[in-house]
Chain A
């Protein structure tokens, strides 16, 4: 089943005013794989993720998700179709506790309306508790039990990243986009995060697309890699092929003139 294509990006171009962020990029993500997007700073990686989850609208090209094409979509529509993500600069809800952050990720799965919410008894409470159970599983999985009730604003960076992953997992996504999940972490934290990513992929079967600068981590984790440079795709393939690609080496090390 690994060859089923979950998401395809077709000839996408994106520009802001005169600045071209992405030029005619195409690639696909298969079901159940870990797909990495790498490239030097300013290559358009984050913009690519923003296009995928509907935050930016590309001027040209289209995105196929589950085989259905779409050009313009709202971020919450992407969310309701099962695309979750984490952010380069942690974008947690800073005033809320870890548990509330993760519960917020369950928003789409909770259906009790305004009336029941004002009572918070019967169905609304039952629903709340059911989702609490689910969130506790995630908390357990990510080993963040001890900070369950702590306000996330005061947590150290590494833990914040983990909570953010938890919040994305709470959405039970089919496609999980991770924007530099290991930026600014030390070796130990990177190992932990890598383990979580692999576990998510294998236990829940979640498809993952990630951006990462640590080439070692990328080579170990990912099934296939896309390389972007200045908004263009310069390579696409399995880690070993990409590693030996001349264009990629030039992009990273510079070209001898």
Chain B
């Protein structure tokens, strides 16, 4: 009843080619943005902003990057966390070598560094496909992580082997380091994530997105349409790694404040993969939904026993998280293989005819 496009006639192709052609979707988006920019900073506590929202946004950004690769181009990558690491270490190096330059510049620049590394590791995609490629991307995961441990230059030979974020200011306001308030950091992350999501949405809806999907769905036919496979795949690797790299830089600079190589280990890659799969392949909204679910779930598992008054050890909670995450993945795959995004679409379909079922 409320979600109905009847009567919304498009009179130009421009209106019909818009990314949100239906008015209700545009209103919904406006409400979400309003909530993100105004309501959450106003009403949310420090915990919500620092431990829920910032990680959620950072992970969603990385998930979008991975989704470009898996969901849109059909290339499975198991090394996303390593590319996040490239972004984080690049940003760390750049901002310690040139501390006077605005840190936002380095966050973007580290995306490009990660992008370049991604292209190099994307080269095998010319010759190998499918799961073989998936395993090949593990090479990136292990090799890059090895670099983070063994190459002292990357972490300025810090004895702890970790990178620690120095304080930076933006227009006189501290944005990184211990002085930065969660609200400031939240806004920086939010703006970057919103802008980059908008870019991603534009890309996947245009010519480039179509050629990615063509490669995904039927690479032979795509070639005969005049799409060159290698450039298309490498561009997907570049864009994907760019997003992962920026997400990695944000993760260290805006969320954790410091990081060890272990932060970018293979489990992190897998978790991002779960977000994409559970959220829905080839859906940007799905990346956000998946990130929300997978990130919030362990928090709930951690707090639920306390809330219920059942004492449970920390180790048990961790194991339980594993079991629940795994079971949830299985559950979602069985119930809705196309992910939360598909549930969302079905819900919209239902809303369209509600309250009359036909």
Contacts and interface: CB of A to CB of B under 8 A. Distances in A.
Q: Do chains A and B touch in the complex (CB under 8 A)?
A: yes
Given A80-B226, A93-B218, A107 B202 contact: no
Interface stretch (A36-44, A109-117, A210-218, A236-244): A109-117
A198 interface: no
Contact of A96 (B17, B199, B210, B226): B210
Given A107-B227, A133-B13, A93 B213 contact: yes
Q: Report which residue of B16, B210, B220 has the largest number of chain A beta carbons within 10 angstroms of its beta carbon.
A: B210
B217 A93 contact: yes
B139 to A, nearest CB: 27
Contacts of B199: 118-119
B208 interface: yes
A128 B12 CA distance: 12
Q: Say whether chain A's binding surface is mostly helix, strand, loop, or mixed.
A: helix
Query: Interface extent on A, as a size class?
Result: 35 or more
A117 B225 contact: no
A118 B222 CA distance: 22
A104 B208 contact: no
A107 B210 contact: yes
B13 A96 contact: no
Contacts of B206: 117, 120, 124, 128
Given A93-B213, A96-B217, A118-B203, A129 B208 contact: no
11 contacts: A74-B223, A75-B220, A78-B224, A84-B224, A91-B220, A93-B222, A104-B222, A108-B226, A110-B207, A119-B199, A132-B13
Interface of A: 53, 55, 74-76, 78-80, 84-85, 87, 91-96, 100, 103-108, 110, 112, 114, 117-120, 124-125, 128-129, 132-133, 136, 167, 171
Interface of B: 12-14, 16-17, 19, 199, 202-203, 205-208, 210-211, 213-214, 216-218, 220-228, 235, 282
Given A87-B221, A91-B218, 12 more contacts: A55-B224, A76-B226, A79-B224, A95-B213, A100-B213, A103-B207, A104-B210, A105-B225, A107-B214, A107-B227, A129-B12, A167-B225
